[in-house]
């Protein structure tokens, strides 16, 4: 290809790719302007096709815990690819990956690898239905668990950004099997369980919601879900595609002491390569084919290149344990930006947990989708564009999260704070 610019590429893309993007969250529909085209990334920086360098806080929507193109991960990918990119036959690294995940996440007694977070949640729910013999699912308003039919009901992420909430093309019968209380509303779950508990196959939840912006759980929420799942015989599924290995060298479930029956992983465990995983109680996992009658399969499941990247990532996590540092950087970011917002008199708060954050254009607290919807998304769009002008790339939506990686430095964070100060003061 010859010299390129993002606008020309986007125009070409729009002719042959619906909306010009391969995932709706990459479109700039809610913030305005043309989507970027990236030529390369290294550490915290991405370089656009025009040669512009930006500090990245989207970090591929989460997987890049150590920033872009970390040498150990790139080397692992190259070595694995040179030995063959796919076999459709078992490879030794799959065993090592499963052993590593089970060791780092003790609630996962057995695990199966798939190729994406969507596949992981889809499989977990089929497994829950097959294991319990029940069909209803409880999912929470504004949580996003990938794009399987019955999970696109009242969903966050790109649906929330696009203002559509539930996708067309989902059959009414699939939607009718999903019950949708508000996030953090334990009393609503209790009512559902009292009325229909014996029909509920699973309660699926993001233990920290990250697809409507960052919404942490109330202290009693996850333990309460565990209790209600036990009471009704439903399985508790933690979708940790975003939160797994995000706040510590394990899952959020392990960190907060609530043990789900099944956990879904993705993003970080692939080190930037396509992967997903479902794991949990062996008794349930044994229902998967070929041991049990719940079918699940995939040519690229446990792909050697993706698994090599994931193993390198998990090794780095064990060696470098970056979490205390991410928390320090996150705290610096929140304190700095919130102080600038207060000085500018803007109704705003930067919510954050560890190195994950959302700049919310509303007053705190944000506890569920209704409170998230109080945010001024237009104001976020202006903030996004101003930050981009200052060389900082954020998620192009008010309803997503940002990520600090272990490659970010104090000076990156200070650059962010200064740019945010200008953006907030400009109105
Ligand atoms: N969970 C990601 C955004 N919230 C998914 C990224 C995508 O849909 O492309």
Q: Are 140 and 153 in contact (CB under 8 A)?
A: no
Query: Which residue is closest in CA terms to ligand 1's atom 5?
Result: 61
**In the prediction, which pLDDT does 118 show?**
97
CA of 2 to the centre of ligand 1 (A): 30
DSSP conformation letters of 274-317: S-EEEEE-HHHHTTBTTTSSB----TTTT-HHHHHHHHHHHHHH
CA of 68 to the centre of ligand 1 (A): 18
Collect the ranges in the chain with pLDDT lower than 50.
Answer: 1-2
Of the residues 150, 267, 380, 412, only one is catalytic, namely 267
Q: What is the pLDDT of residues 105-123, one digit of tens each?
A: 999 999 999 999 999 999 9
**In the prediction, which pLDDT does 170 show?**
85
Query: Which residue is closest in CA terms to ligand 1's atom 9?
Result: 23
Q: Are 177 and 135 in contact (CB under 8 A)?
A: yes
393 is catalytic: no
CA of 66 to the centre of ligand 1 (A): 19
DSSP conformation letters of 69-127: T-HHHHHHHHHHHHT-S--SS--HHHHHHHHHHHHH-TT-SEEEEESSHHHHHHHHHHH
User: How far is residue 9's CA from residue 54's CA, in Å, rounded to a whole number?
Assistant: 19
Q: What is the pLDDT of residues 114-155, one digit of tens each?
A: 999 999 999 999 999 999 999 999 999 999 999 988 888 888
Among candidate residues 140, 398, 144, 356, the one with its CA nearest the CA of residue 252: 356
Of the residues 141, 239, 261, 368, only one is catalytic, namely 239
Query: Taking the alpha carbons of 42, 43, 47, 53 in that order, is the dihedral positive or negative?
Result: negative
Query: Best of 62, 158, 265 to mutate for ligand 1, by most ligand atoms within 8 A of CB?
Result: 158
Spell out the domains of the chain, with CATH numbers in brackets: 6-65+322-426 (3.90.1150.10), 71-319 (3.40.640.10)
User: How far is residue 248's CA from residue 109's CA, in Å, rounded to a whole number?
Assistant: 19
Q: How many CB atoms lie within 10 A of CB 263?
A: 30
56 is catalytic: no
CA of 198 to the centre of ligand 1 (A): 33
Q: Are 114 and 301 in contact (CB under 8 A)?
A: yes
Q: Cα-flanking dihedrals φ and ψ of residue 352, to 5°?
A: -155, 150
141 is catalytic: no
**In the prediction, which pLDDT does 159 show?**
81
Q: Cα-flanking dihedrals φ and ψ of residue 199, to 5°?
A: -105, -5
Q: How many CB atoms lie within 10 A of CB 181?
A: 20
Q: What is the dihedral of CA 369, 374, 376, 380, to 10 degrees?
A: -30
User: How far is residue 244's CA from residue 259's CA, in Å, rounded to a whole number?
Assistant: 14
Q: Are 266 and 291 in contact (CB under 8 A)?
A: no
**In the prediction, which pLDDT does 181 show?**
96
Query: Best of 17, 144, 214, 276 to mutate for ligand 1, by most ligand atoms within 8 A of CB?
Result: 144
């Amino acid at each position: 290809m010859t010299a390129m610019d993002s606008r020309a590429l986007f125009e070409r893309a729009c002719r042959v790719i619906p909306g010009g993007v391969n995932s709706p969250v990459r479109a700039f529909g809610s913030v305005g302007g043309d989507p970027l085209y990236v030529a390369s990334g290294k550490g915290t920086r991405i370089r656009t096709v025009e040669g512009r360098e930006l500090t990245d806080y989207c970090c591929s929507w989460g997987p890049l815990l150590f920033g872009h193109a970390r040498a150990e991960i790139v080397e692992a990918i190259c070595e694995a690819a040179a030995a063959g990119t796919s076999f459709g036959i078992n490879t030794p690294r799959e065993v090592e990956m499963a052993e590593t995940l089970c060791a780092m996440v003790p609630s996962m007694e057995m695990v199966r690898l798939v190729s994406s977070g969507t596949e992981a949640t889809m499989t977990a729910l089929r497994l829950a239905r097959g294991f319990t013999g029940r069909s209803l699912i409880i999912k929470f308003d504004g949580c996003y668990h990938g794009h399987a039919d019955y999970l696109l009901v009242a969903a966050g992420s790109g649906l929330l950004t696009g203002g559509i909430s539930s996708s067309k093309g989902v059959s009414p019968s699939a939607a009718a099997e999903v019950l949708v209380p508000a996030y953090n509303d334990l009393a609503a779950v209790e009512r559902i369980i009292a009325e229909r508990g014996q029909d509920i196959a699973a309660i699926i939840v993001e233990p920290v919601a990250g697809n409507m912006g960052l919404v942490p759980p109330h202290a009693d929420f996850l333990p309460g879900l565990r209790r209600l799942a036990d009471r009704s015989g439903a399985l508790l599924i933690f979708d940790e595609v975003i939160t797994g290995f995000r706040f510590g060298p394990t899952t959020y479930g392990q960190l907060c002491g609530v043990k789900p029956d099944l956990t879904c992983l993705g993003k970080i465990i692939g080190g930037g390569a396509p992967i997903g995983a479902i794991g949990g109680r062996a008794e349930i996992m044994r229902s998967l084919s070929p041991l049990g009658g719940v079918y699940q399969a995939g040519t690229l499941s446990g792909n050697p290149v993706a698994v090599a990247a994931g193993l390198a990532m998990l090794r780095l996590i064990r060696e470098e344990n970056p979490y205390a540092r991410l928390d320090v950087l996150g705290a610096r970011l929140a304190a700095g930006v919130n102080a600038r917002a207060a000085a500018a008199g803007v109704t705003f708060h930067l919510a954050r947990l560890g190195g994950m954050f959302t700049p919310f254009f509303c007053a705190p607290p944000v506890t569920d989708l209704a409170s998230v919807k109080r945010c001024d998304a237009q104001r976020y769009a202006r903030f996004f564009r101003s930050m981009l002008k200052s060389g900082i790339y954020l998620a192009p939506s008010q309803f997503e999260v940002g990520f600090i990686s272990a490659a970010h430095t104090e000076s990156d964070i200070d650059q962010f704070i200064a740019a945010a100060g200008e953006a907030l003061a400009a109105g």
